[in-house]
Structure 1
Amino acid sequence: MFKGKNRFQSILLFILDLSILISSFYLASFISFGDFNPNYYYYSLLLGWGIIWVGVVLKYNLYEVPRILYVDKVLSKNFSAITVFIVLSAAAIYFFTSYKFSRIFFITVVSLFSFLLLIFRILFLYLVKSQRLKKDFRKRGVIIVGMNQNIQRLISRVYSRPQYAFFIEGIFTDTKLKGRLKNNHKGGLDDVKDYLLTNNPKEVVISLPHSYGDYIDELIHIADNNLVRVRVVPEFSEYLSQRFSIKYVENVPVMKFRKEPMQSLSNRILKRSFDIVFSLMAVVFIFSWLFPIIALIIKLTSKGPVFFSQERTGQDNVSFMCLKFRSMVVNTDSDNLQATKNDSRVTPFGSFMRKTSIDELPQIINVLFNQMSLVGPRPHMLKHTEEYRVLVNKFMVRHFAKPGVTGWAQILGFRGETKTVKDMEKRANADIWYIENWSFMLDLKIIFRTVFGMLFKRDKNAY
């Protein structure tokens, strides 16, 4: 936790965390008991919380700020750590104490601590980003061996961007370079060994064909003996169009395609717990009065049932009955034809519901029945699943996840009628990106943007 060049940063964050915890303790005491000085028994809680938090920090390595910094991923890790902290704290009180501590006090402390910690983490991460943009910030040098499309992508997206605080010491390749890359060219492949022996680069990135295996081995040997970190971009990643990871099974490297965070049991529990809590709160505080009003308007403005149910494709290609408020007149084409602009089947109130996405609200019931999640790829009618699984490459990958009431594709604008195969391809790619990059913070971001869009924006594709 406290080592290397980030020791000062780690100590500062640790002191800040403890200060937030102590402040939350005293604020909760005042809120719960009207006094900043609670019963002395409660100070044992403060000591226990401090010990538990140290363990959680060490387990999750919370004070590591990666060079390639994605704020949402760091916050997601912090949120997971806070969840574990709360569970362990509650368990410790239940199993190891006989004193009846105030539940309101406990809830107030952990709520204040969680909220303040995340706020200060956000401020800290943006401070780190702003510091890295300064000219006098110490950047990490990197030398590059080889040149191909992936290396060019790394240069443009990582090593050339100031927020990641890298600079290219030199590029070694026998390939002729063009543009600004020529300024970084230090020589050919024969010159790399001498450079490693006579200079002190911090990191070397190698991307060469497998036929250079012996040469790569020799470079790694030299780098290891000169305290140079090595990164290798596999040559075969040039022709693989999807993400992969390599794990070792009995020292045998096994390539795994596609990262799926939701395969983790803890992530699934976190996502499902949030689905249940959020959905129940929505039912109690919103739907209890809103549903009767919408149902009455639907019945008064058109003939037919209040709800419309349709069989749609769910997780693992298992179909389920998806619920919506009926926004069209009763017709026989609903299972075959998408809604189009100025569709004569859509009722006047149905048009309003579709533009504001109110018609999707009954899917909260599907969420409670574990057929859907609040966030995920939108479910399609069975006919479209069968059509697009043939027309769109990797279309079925989106069904690895539970379908959602809203999704990443929808907030990017890929919703409504799919006029061309390209439209569906964009939607499927966005859904696959969500599956591979899921985090709890990403779900919160999608929900926030969805609610904001319902209240203040009108999507031109919603009709």
Structure 2
Amino acid sequence: VRMGLAFLRSRGYNTRRVAIIGATALGSRLENAFIGMEWSGYRLVGYYDDRVDAPETRRLNNHQVNVIGDINKLIEDTKSGLVDTIYITLAMSAEHRIKAITERLADSTASVYLVPDMFTFNLLNSRWVDYQGITAISIYETPFAGLDSFIKRLEDIVLSMMILCLIAIPMIFIAIGIKLTSKGAVFFKQNRYGMDGEKILVWKFRSMTVSEDGDKVTQATQNDVRITPFGAFLRRTSLDELPQFFNSLTGSMSIVGPRPHAVAHNEEYRQQIQGYMLRHKVKPGITGLAQINGFRGETDTLDKMEGRIRYDLKYIQTWSLLLDLKIILLTVFKGFRNKNAY
């Protein structure tokens, strides 16, 4: 298996773009470990340090390393796609620096690991990873790795196909109802952030007379004049979201996960809620832990959005197949009518 992976990754397939925070001896050892694990596909972009003002070269363990820039530069490179995995190799005595750095990195979708010497955090889905005797701790990571990733995807495929078979005829009648009661297309698609912050198109039945997908999106409110009478019924019963089972079947969404927000809302709330972007370490869902706990529909206050995010992160931290099935069952009994959905 490793020979096959090494062959594919030596040709640029399935590689990871790695950054190391801290031009330290530990960071140099980690770099050497990656070199000895060619099959793993790690490609070092370079070192970053929160105490440098400009690129510089340092000598570590008898070889030169390039320090590309500070944490601001790293966040820029992460957002531009140059870096997708980050390792922090600062000393245990730098606890306050590490905490400050991890708080900054929460506004990204990169996978972040702490290589301790030995002090740890337990922020989001923390687990130990070994690289030829060097231990790293994941700080911000998806729970869907290895077998769990296969289980989650199989769950989505099987349940989506079953549900689509059951709702095919109701969806036809809904489409007819939309065409008979208002002008415009049957379906509405909108940009959302998917897993790791990648933009995806999310499908819904059209429930409004206008569509918004720009830099500013106004949430639907009670008695919103944009909502058609038939659309109001669809939104109250969540039937407008049935086309998202096609998203789940094709893999851009999951049946259970944090609800996808409009791109404009993401850009607004990531600046106000610490760790907001961490919800993107999993695929967005049709329903989720927040929704069955009352955080569904309009989030017209910061407190409501913070409550939703708390449940989203709790779901990521505690995911299991049984939890998904529980959320699906509770959605059936609780989610098809909600006073907060306009």
Partner Cα distance (1:261, 1:306) in 2: 36
C-alpha distance 319-250 of structure 1, shift in aligned 2 (>3 A): closer
Partner Cα distance (1:243, 1:373) in 2: 19
Aligned match for 1:397, one of 271, 278, 281: 278
1:250 Cα deviation from its structure 2 partner: 5.5
Tell me, what secondary structure is at the counterpart of 1:262? coil
Tell me, what secondary structure is at the counterpart of 1:391? coil
1:352 Cα deviation from its structure 2 partner: 1.2
1:329 Cα deviation from its structure 2 partner: 1.3
The residue that corresponds to 1:156 in the other structure is none
Native 8 Å contact 1:245 1:258 kept in 2: no
The residue that corresponds to 1:255 in the other structure is 137
1:300 Cα deviation from its structure 2 partner: 1.0
Partner Cα distance (1:372, 1:251) in 2: 36
Gaps of 5+ in 2: 1-91, 93-117
Partner Cα distance (2:165, 2:296) in 1: 29
Paired AA for residue 262 in structure 1: F
Native 8 Å contact 2:292 2:335 kept in 1: no
Tell me, what secondary structure is at the counterpart of 1:414? coil
Residues 1:361 and 2:238 aligned together = no
Partner Cα distance (1:438, 1:324) in 2: 26
The residue that corresponds to 2:59 in the other structure is none
1:297 Cα deviation from its structure 2 partner: 0.8
1:254 Cα deviation from its structure 2 partner: 3.7
Gaps of 5+ in 1: 1-209, 211-234
Q: Kindly indicate whether structure 1 or structure 2 has the higher relative contact order, using CA contacts under 8 Å at least 6 residues apart.
A: 2
Structure with a larger share of its residues in helix: 1
CA deviations on 1:372-397 (whole Å, 9 max, x unpaired) are 01011111111111111111100000
1:454 Cα deviation from its structure 2 partner: 4.1
C-alpha distance 452-314 of structure 1, shift in aligned 2 (>3 A): same
Q: Which has the larger radius of gyration?
A: 1
C-alpha distance 236-328 of structure 1, shift in aligned 2 (>3 A): same
The residue that corresponds to 1:426 in the other structure is 307
C-alpha distance 434-300 of structure 1, shift in aligned 2 (>3 A): same
CA deviations on 1:87-120 (whole Å, 9 max, x unpaired) are xxxxxxxxxxxxxxxxxxxxxxxxxxxxxxxxxx
Paired AA for residue 194 in structure 2: G
CA deviations on 1:9-50 (whole Å, 9 max, x unpaired) are xxxxxxxxxxxxxxxxxxxxxxxxxxxxxxxxxxxxxxxxxx
Tell me, what secondary structure is at the counterpart of 2:307? helix
C-alpha distance 282-255 of structure 1, shift in aligned 2 (>3 A): closer
Paired AA for residue 387 in structure 1: E
Number of aligned residue pairs: 226
1:331 Cα deviation from its structure 2 partner: 4.8
Residues 1:309 and 2:189 aligned together = yes
Tell me, what secondary structure is at the counterpart of 1:323? strand
Native 8 Å contact 2:179 2:186 kept in 1: yes
Partner Cα distance (2:269, 2:142) in 1: 23
1:241 Cα deviation from its structure 2 partner: 6.4
Tell me, what secondary structure is at the counterpart of 1:310? strand
Paired AA for residue 336 in structure 1: V
Aligned match for 1:413, one of 288, 294, 308: 294
In the superposition, the TM-score normalised over structure 2's length comes to: 0.60
**What does 1:141-180 align with in structure 2 at a 5 Å threshold?**
none
Structure with a larger share of its residues in strand: 2
Residues 1:323 and 2:203 aligned together = yes
Partner Cα distance (2:193, 2:279) in 1: 11
Native 8 Å contact 1:275 1:374 kept in 2: yes
In the superposition, the TM-score normalised over structure 1's length comes to: 0.45
CA deviations on 1:65-87 (whole Å, 9 max, x unpaired) are xxxxxxxxxxxxxxxxxxxxxxx
Residues 1:339 and 2:220 aligned together = yes
Tell me, what secondary structure is at the counterpart of 1:255? strand
Measured on the aligned residues, the alpha-carbon RMSD in Å equals 2.6
Partner Cα distance (2:122, 2:251) in 1: 35
CA deviations on 1:107-143 (whole Å, 9 max, x unpaired) are xxxxxxxxxxxxxxxxxxxxxxxxxxxxxxxxxxxxx
Tell me, what secondary structure is at the counterpart of 1:349? helix
Partner Cα distance (2:123, 2:151) in 1: 31
C-alpha distance 248-346 of structure 1, shift in aligned 2 (>3 A): same
Tell me, what secondary structure is at the counterpart of 1:261? coil
Identity score, percent: 48
Partner Cα distance (2:154, 2:266) in 1: 29
